[in-house]
Structure 1
Amino acid sequence: MEEENLGQPLLKKRYYQNCPGCKVDRAKELGTDVSIRNISYIWMTVLCGTLPIASLFPFVYFMVKDFNVAESEEDISAYAGYVGSSFMLGRSLTSILWGIMSDRYGRKPVIIIGVMTVVVFNTLFGLSTNLWMAISMRFFLGSLNGLLGPVKAYTTEIFIEEKQALGLSSVVAAWGVGLVIGPALGGYLAQPTLKYPHLFPKDSFWDKFPYFLPCFVISVFAFVVAIACIWLPETLHYHNGSKESNDNVEAAEVDSSEIKKDKSIFLNWPLMSSIIVYCVFSLHDIAYQEVFSLWAVSPRRLGGLNFTTNDVGNVMAISGFAMMIYQLALYPSLQKACGPVNLARITGALSIPLLQSYPFMTLLSGSTLYLVLNIASILRYLMFETISTGLFLLQNRAVEQHQRGAANGFAMTAMSAFKIIGPAGGGALLAWSQKRLSASFLPGTHVVFLVLNIVEGVGVILMFKPFLGEKKEKPMEQLQ
């Protein structure tokens, strides 16, 4: 028997025996419990996509310095920005292509290819011996790693509708934690012969490649995830040798007049406006991460904090732990009370004075500096997570399920394009600011954080009407 008519008669759903998507849909209909296995897959794959993005920030300053390409110490930050931007350049060029491939060949193969890309090119990046090799490996890592977009679409397809918000929240939580834990790993594990000489002796392999260890640890994790993804359920539908979407499976449920009303995603203003706002905040976020790490490890005479990579790793680890607790325990209640958009507006406005206080931390030292910096870092990451989660929920609510793959692919491309500017622009701006420490107006890093706040301010303004649109919910009688 090729197909089975199961489920409630009014829904007229058809399940094909050899279709992986039908198996997923049937499992969702038979039970409403959230699968811990599915959430684990989401966390593992998202971490594989995010850990390499920012893991280099604590040590890229020292890596570029070891390459001996900078004419002066002030120029190191600019070259470090090029290394950071190369990943986003690669991802911006291929995100739509990977989204199309996931629609055609399935979410699972694209996700596995993305994870294996981390294994190969993140390892090679740790073995870089010159600036161009480092930039090339980061570029290939970004261009061949197209898993984040398909994971977002996969998340909406693997959970029942009532649990999709939890699934999307898991994506955002894992993504945010990865962007914090990544730098923590980079900070703890870079230059191991200096930090752990009893385990990694001088003149050994680890001394020749001092930045390989954090990359290797992330690559080993990715290899384990790649093996685990063999059992990843596929959500794409295969019927009679052809590939169909969820919407085609349930075509009997959808009135043909409804389909004709679907607009192009580019004409969907609630979607496009939320993507534009998200791109502005993404630019701000990646620039902040680049600037913060470079500023923290810069010497005091250049307006920095003279931190070690371990110090930066400690700050990142504490922020990541706090963000995990916040996302899982506090955010749902706050979001329910204020709404995702209003909460994002409030936190965006509060983050501006917080960020402008950073340059004044150079006046502190010792335990006071560590305490103040950790509090500021925790608040800043919690605020960004609040903003990004709200906008991400807004994007996915602005389109129907059959358009979410294309919407997420375009969002990833646009976000990556904006993030190309962040590391290069932030590094160049910091390098320029370190040459004007004695300026009478906004000396040193004061001008850097002012520029970051201008970007943040633009994002906050765009979150208000008439720019930001919200999808109008259908009346309940139309949904019944």
Structure 2
Amino acid sequence: MAAGAVAAPLLAKGRRVCKEGCPGCRLDQINKTNTGVPYLNFFYVWVVCLCAALPIQSLFPYLYFMIRDLKVAKQEEDIGFYAGFVGAAYFLGRTTSAVPWGMFADKYGRKPCIMISILSVIVFNTLFGLSTTYWMAIITRGLLGLLCGILGPIKAYASEVCRKEHQALGISLVTSSRSIALIIGPAIGGFLARPAKKYPNLFSEESIFGRFPYFLPCLVISALAAAAGVACIWLPVLPSIPPPPPQISM
């Protein structure tokens, strides 16, 4: 090197080196080209999160009557005791599977986790409405919570699908959709449970809604979840985080 010459830095200031196949670099390139607010992606995230959260509180308006009709309580004072286990089964499943679902989303991507969660709502929420025994109600609610691991991954997805300046908006939409679901869910459960008794002109006692008086609210929520599952088709696929390379000890 000639005397007085200044060596050029290996990495120019402000310049980022992208490695081929790097998921972080690919994500940065996607967000770099999309400079505006991704309203459509945010709408899909909002709808998916809303429908996934609807079953959380929807059962509580009719849970007392459901436990009474299942005839598991020997006396009326015990209905609240048995209802508590049904209500807690969902949250027990969520508590158990929260961390594994986060690891799954990091390894295989957010979108597969979201779609599996929506599918679990469609299947197990419908089966809960068709419960004929107390243990069937507990198992279906527990499996619903166990397989609906959308809470953590959907927040990560909402922050990754946009630029940094829009991440607060994306996460706030997730929070608002869950709050709205906690309002709409109990309303659906309260209005549509036991329809043969409330609306005898529309539903007969011999119909499926008369034989399964708590099936209609679950069916409506599952139908909304199915619509959200269709919306998942247009969710952009974000790169997953690959595992670190194995370290070779000398």
Are 2:15 and 1:11 equivalent residues in the alignment?
Answer: yes
One-letter amino acid of the structure 1 residue matched with residue 64 of structure 2: Y
2:31–2:163 contact (8 Å) kept in structure 1: yes
- 1:226 alignment partner in structure 2: 229
- 1:155 alignment partner in structure 2: 158
- 2:126 alignment partner in structure 1: 123
1:200 corresponds to which of 203, 206, 214 = 203
**Higher mean C-alpha displacement, 227-236 vs 18-27:** 18-27
Shift, 1:116, TM fit: 0.3
CA offsets 1:417-437 (integer angstroms, 9 cap, x no match): xxxxxxxxxxxxxxxxxxxxx
1:19–1:237 contact (8 Å) kept in structure 2: no
CA offsets 1:281-305 (integer angstroms, 9 cap, x no match): xxxxxxxxxxxxxxxxxxxxxxxxx
- 2:65 alignment partner in structure 1: 62
1:395-410 maps to which residues of 2 (within 5 A)? none
Secondary structure (helix, strand or coil) at the match of 1:202 reads coil
Shift, 1:24, TM fit: 4.4
Are 2:60 and 1:87 equivalent residues in the alignment?
Answer: no
Tell me how far apart the structure 2 counterparts of residues 21 and 106 of structure 1 sit (CA, whole Å): 13
Secondary structure (helix, strand or coil) at the match of 2:72 reads coil
1:15–1:26 contact (8 Å) kept in structure 2: no
1:9-408 maps to which residues of 2 (within 5 A)? 10-14=14-18, 24-237=27-240, 243=242
CA offsets 1:231-251 (integer angstroms, 9 cap, x no match): 21122257xxxx379xxxxxx
2:196–2:203 contact (8 Å) kept in structure 1: yes
When normalised by structure 1's length, the TM-score is 0.46
Tell me how far apart the structure 1 counterparts of residues 236 and 25 of structure 2 sit (CA, whole Å): 11
Tell me how far apart the structure 2 counterparts of residues 197 and 54 of structure 1 sit (CA, whole Å): 26
- 1:427 alignment partner in structure 2: none
2:110–2:238 contact (8 Å) kept in structure 1: yes
Superposed structure 1 runs of 4+ greater than 6 Å apart: 18-21
Aligned length: 233
Tell me how far apart the structure 2 counterparts of residues 221 and 244 of structure 1 sit (CA, whole Å): 35
- 2:8 alignment partner in structure 1: none
2:113–2:150 contact (8 Å) kept in structure 1: yes
Tell me how far apart the structure 1 counterparts of residues 234 and 166 of structure 2 sit (CA, whole Å): 22
When normalised by structure 2's length, the TM-score is 0.86
Shift, 1:32, TM fit: 2.8
One-letter amino acid of the structure 2 residue matched with residue 136 of structure 1: I
Change beyond 3 A, Cα 1:31–1:106? closer
1:87–1:139 contact (8 Å) kept in structure 2: yes
Secondary structure (helix, strand or coil) at the match of 2:54 reads helix
Report the aligned-residue RMSD: 2.1
One-letter amino acid of the structure 2 residue matched with residue 223 of structure 1: A
One-letter amino acid of the structure 1 residue matched with residue 15 of structure 2: L
CA offsets 1:238-267 (integer angstroms, 9 cap, x no match): 7xxxx379xxxxxxxxxxxxxxxxxxxxxx
1:237–1:244 contact (8 Å) kept in structure 2: no
Return 5+ residue gaps in structure 1 as ranges.
1-7, 246-480
2:125–2:222 contact (8 Å) kept in structure 1: yes
Shift, 1:220, TM fit: 1.1
Change beyond 3 A, Cα 1:21–1:52? farther
CA offsets 1:196-245 (integer angstroms, 9 cap, x no match): 2222112211100000011011111111211221221122257xxxx379
Greater helix share, 1 or 2?
1
Shift, 1:65, TM fit: 0.7
1:115–1:226 contact (8 Å) kept in structure 2: yes
Secondary structure (helix, strand or coil) at the match of 2:124 reads helix
Identity of paired residues, percent? 49
1:236–1:244 contact (8 Å) kept in structure 2: no
Return 5+ residue gaps in structure 2 as ranges.
1-11, 245-250
Change beyond 3 A, Cα 1:31–1:236? closer
1:191–1:211 contact (8 Å) kept in structure 2: yes
